[in-house]
Structures are given as structure tokens and as C-alpha cells.
């Protein structure tokens, strides 16, 4: 999704500056956690009525962008 920037907002006055879907207080991390846990989209949309299907796509695209741009320290795998 190219237009995730239109849907994801980071504002210090909203959700303590954590990424959320614009116009809501639904954190991107909550959406990604639900998707990762296997929660069906329909259930996520029922649980968070302010969300739309493209909002879920935007949250996933934002998370994908973070993985391309950022790093997380992981334990080094040593193969024997």
C-alpha cells in the first residue's frame, strides 16, 4: 500500500505519540498484534468500529516499512 502515510498518524498529543490510524486512537501495534495472532480481519473490524479494511492494510504497510528501515537486535544464530 503506497498511501499508508495518509492513514497512519504520529502526534505527540494522541496516544503518547505512538503510531495510530488517523482520526482514531487505534494503535498500529494493536492492529499488527491482532493480525499476527491470526485474528480474522472481520473480527478486528468488529472490535474496532472506527477502522476500515484499508486501515488494516495501512497498518501492515507501515510495519513493513519499519522493518525495511529499522533494525531489532536479535540473538546471533550460529550453525554448527
Q: Is residue 38 part of a domain?
A: yes
* 62 part of a folded domain: yes
Question: What's the confidence (pLDDT) of residue 61?
Answer: 93
Instruction: Please report whether residue 72 resides in a domain.
Output: no
Question: pTM of the entire structure?
Answer: 0.84
**Number of domains making up the chain:** 1
Residue 74 lies in a domain: no
Structural contact between residues 31 and 51, judged by C-beta atoms closer than 8 angstroms: yes
Cα dihedral 73→36→27→67 (10° resolution): 40
Q: 16-46 pLDDT, tens per residue?
A: 999 999 999 999 999 999 999 999 999 999 9
Residue 19 lies in domain: 4-67
Query: Would you state the pLDDT for residue 73?
Result: 64
| 62, pLDDT greater than 60 | yes
Amino acid at each position: 500500500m503506497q498511501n499508508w502515510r495518509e492513514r497512519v498518524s504520529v502526534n505527540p498529543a494522541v496516544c503518547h505519540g505512538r503510531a495510530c490510524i488517523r482520526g482514531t486512537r487505534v494503535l498500529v501495534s494493536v492492529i499488527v498484534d491482532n493480525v499476527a495472532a491470526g485474528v480474522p480481519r472481520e473480527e478486528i473490524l468488529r472490535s474496532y468500529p472506527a477502522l476500515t479494511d484499508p486501515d488494516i492494510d495501512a497498518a501492515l504497510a507501515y510495519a513493513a516499512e519499519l522493518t525495511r528501515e529499522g533494525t531489532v537486535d536479535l540473538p546471533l544464530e550460529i550453525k554448527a
